[in-house]
Amino acid sequence: MKIYVMDAFAAKLFGGNQAGVALPEGDVSDETMRLIAAELKHSETAFVRPRADGSVDLRYFTPAGEVELCGHATIAGFALLRRLGLLADRLSVNIELPSEESLGRLAPDKAKAAILAPMAQIRDGIQASRGELARFRHAPRFAPAGQSTQMIVGASPETDYHILKLTEGMYQKYSLKRVFYSAYIPVAEDTRLPALDTKPPLLREHRLYQADWLLRFYQFEADEILDQDNPNFNPYLDPKCNWAVQHYGLFPVDVNRAPFEMLLRVPGIGPKSARRIWRARKQAALGLDELKRMGVVLKRAQYFITCRGFAGAHPGRGSAGRECITRALIDPNVFSGSCEQLSLFSPPAVDNLIGQGVPPRAAVRMVREEAVQCLAKAL
* Successive 10-residue mean pLDDT values, the chain, 379 residues: 83 82 85 92 87 70 89 77 66 90 88 83 86 82 87 96 97 95 92 90 94 97 96 91 89 95 96 97 96 94 93 64 74 54 55 79 76 65
**Model's pTM, two decimal places?**
0.75
- Tell me the C-alpha distance between 7 and 44, whole Å: 12
The pLDDT of residue 341 is 41
Cα dihedral across residues 268, 271, 272, 273: positive or negative: positive
The pLDDT assigned to 273 comes to 97
Which pLDDT score, from 0 to 100, does residue 314 have? 67
Q: What confidence score (pLDDT) does residue 344 get? A: 45
Residues 6+ apart with CB under 8 A from 139: 129, 132, 133
CA angle centred on 356, ends 352 and 358, rounded to 5°: 95
Domains and CATH numbers, the chain: 2-87 (3.10.310.10), 91-225 (3.30.750), 314-379 (no CATH)
Q: Are 196 and 335 in contact (CB under 8 A)?
A: no
What confidence score (pLDDT) does residue 35 get? 93
Q: How far apart are CA 196 and CA 20, in angstroms?
A: 44
If 0-12 CB within 10 Å is exposed, 13-18 middle and 19+ buried, where does residue 349 land?
middle
